[in-house]
Structure 1
Amino acid sequence: MATKRTYHDACGTAHGLDLIGERWALLVVRELLLGPKRYGQLRSDLPGIGTNVLAQRLSELEASGVLRKIQLPPPAGTTAYELTDWGYELEPVVRALTRWAVRSPDHDRTANLSATSFLLSLRTFFDPDRTRGGVRGRYELHMNGEVFRVVLQDGTLLVERGTLEQPDAVVTGAPTALARVIYGGHDPDEATAAGEIRVDGDHASFARLPSAFSFPPPLTPAAP
């Protein structure tokens, strides 16, 4: 088994939890869904995880075939971790769990948010029906020292690492600040004026970006 504990249950759900159900395991997977990361990057993007726990989870996930060690090409030339093809198949699981969990009345939207988590949320809450009126744009997002490209076109959304040639806007800010603008109704101009984000380029194009996403409202707590 990939983990020390097991449910000893033939159900696929139980075996899935044997593989990725240990604390932090699925979040390690989440952080690799946009591509490989070095150990130090994972440690930084998961600030609550202990060094020993991270090493153990990486070892377990590698043993189970979910991820593998790779050698990054020059100039980095260091060891990193990437998901296997089977590991990448967990993205729909992560996105479905996200969509389900954010409806909890106890969900804290102000807690830590990694750049990868924010970018995956764009894939999760993208609503093609909202873009059929012609909402489109090309954006370069700079977060936590990483660069990502986001392209809206013809009812589709592209989210991945990398730069863009001639983006409509280059946006710099913390993932939590960008999430407030995209999902929390925080006015982009107010966020810019407050120094929470920086927008270089077409401000109006970036201001239209939140309209492409649909964030589910929280459930109403049941009456006692």
Structure 2
Amino acid sequence: MSRSYEQICHIARALDVLGERWTLLIVRELTLGPRRYSDLLDALPGMGTSLLAARLKHLGEFDVVRRTTLPGPGRAAAYELGARGEALMPLLASLASWGGGLGSPPPGYAGRAAWSLVAMRLTAPGVAAGFTTLTELVVGEETLWLQGDGEQVRAEIGPAPVKPGMRLTCEKATLYALARGRVAVDDAVASGDLVVEGNPDTAQLFFEFFSLSDGHHATSQ
């Protein structure tokens, strides 16, 4: 059972639900769409299965997460954000922006393209919702996709659900350099570090909308 501050205070009550270690990182993972239990374990190394189970049960009591099934053969069980979890997006955006001001992390910190894409999506300006080109990113061994629908931006792990309008292929170090504005799309293409299947101008617009501050730098290992 999670500990409570036992205070009649909105902040304390929120921390009763969200303040335990790993909790907001579970929410971070589910911003990228429904995930199987094993997917969450893989994305949160060091958490442990019993602790993950306890956190999911606790968050489920407050509709931060809920059980669902994945489409396709077998309809595998999974977890997704509930209504109260979706309501946390402004909080996560603020945390991503705040964390971006902390400077570069110590050497050896783990980095995944998916984590950067979460920050890129959450901190994007409102006009980014107008980026309607379905974009698939193949970053090292990770595949993700992102698309705006005019009102919001959706980003998920895995191949694009239909043929994408643009595919970007690169390594993590190149993604970070592009997202931080340290290299232009044309230069990355010319050096062979980025492959653009689609319009290079659209690719440049992608990184203008979806960017990272230097504090979001992550290891390329």
TM-score (norm 1): 0.74
- Distance in structure 2 (CA, Å) of the matches to 1:101 and 1:140: 26
Which residue is 2:95 aligned to?
97
Note the aligned Cα RMSD (angstroms).
3.4
Do the aligned residues in 2 keep the contact of 1:45 with 1:114 (CA within 8 Å)? no
Mind listing any 5+ residue stretches in structure 1 that lack a counterpart?
Answer: 219-224
- Distance in structure 2 (CA, Å) of the matches to 1:34 and 1:27: 12
1:141 matched to 2:132? The reply is no
1:203 matched to 2:187? The reply is no
**Structure 1 residues 100, 147: CA separation in 2 closer, same or farther (over 3 Å shift)?**
closer
Question: In the comparison of the two structures, how many residue pairs are matched?
Answer: 210
**Structure 1 residues 16, 109: CA separation in 2 closer, same or farther (over 3 Å shift)?**
farther
Which residue is 1:58 aligned to?
56
**Structure 1 residues 77, 97: CA separation in 2 closer, same or farther (over 3 Å shift)?**
same
TM-score (norm 2): 0.75
1:70 matched to 2:68? The reply is yes
**Structure 1 residues 54, 189: CA separation in 2 closer, same or farther (over 3 Å shift)?**
farther
Which residue is 1:222 aligned to?
none
1:160 matched to 2:152? The reply is no
1:171 matched to 2:191? The reply is no
Do the aligned residues in 2 keep the contact of 1:110 with 1:176 (CA within 8 Å)? no
TM-fit CA distance, 1:66: 1.5
- Distance in structure 1 (CA, Å) of the matches to 2:79 and 2:53: 11
- Distance in structure 1 (CA, Å) of the matches to 2:173 and 2:39: 18
Do the aligned residues in 2 keep the contact of 1:67 with 1:87 (CA within 8 Å)? yes
- Distance in structure 2 (CA, Å) of the matches to 1:109 and 1:152: 38
Do the aligned residues in 2 keep the contact of 1:30 with 1:116 (CA within 8 Å)? no
Do the aligned residues in 1 keep the contact of 2:89 with 2:122 (CA within 8 Å)? no
Alignment of 1:209-224 (within 5 A): 209-213=206-210, 215=212
Which residue is 1:17 aligned to?
15
- Distance in structure 1 (CA, Å) of the matches to 2:184 and 2:173: 14
Do the aligned residues in 2 keep the contact of 1:72 with 1:79 (CA within 8 Å)? yes
Corresponding letter in the other structure for 2:153 = L
**Structure 1 residues 184, 75: CA separation in 2 closer, same or farther (over 3 Å shift)?**
same
Corresponding letter in the other structure for 2:179 = I
> How far does the alpha carbon of each residue in 1:133-152 deviate from its partner, in whole angstroms, 9 at most, with x for none?
x9985532235554413359
Range with bigger deviation, 76-85 or 45-54: 45-54
SS at structure 1 position matched to 2:102: coil
Larger Rg: 1
- Distance in structure 2 (CA, Å) of the matches to 1:86 and 1:60: 13
Do the aligned residues in 2 keep the contact of 1:177 with 1:196 (CA within 8 Å)? yes
Corresponding letter in the other structure for 1:67 = V
Do the aligned residues in 1 keep the contact of 2:5 with 2:12 (CA within 8 Å)? yes
Mind listing any 5+ residue stretches in structure 2 that lack a counterpart?
Answer: 216-221
Residue identity (%): 30
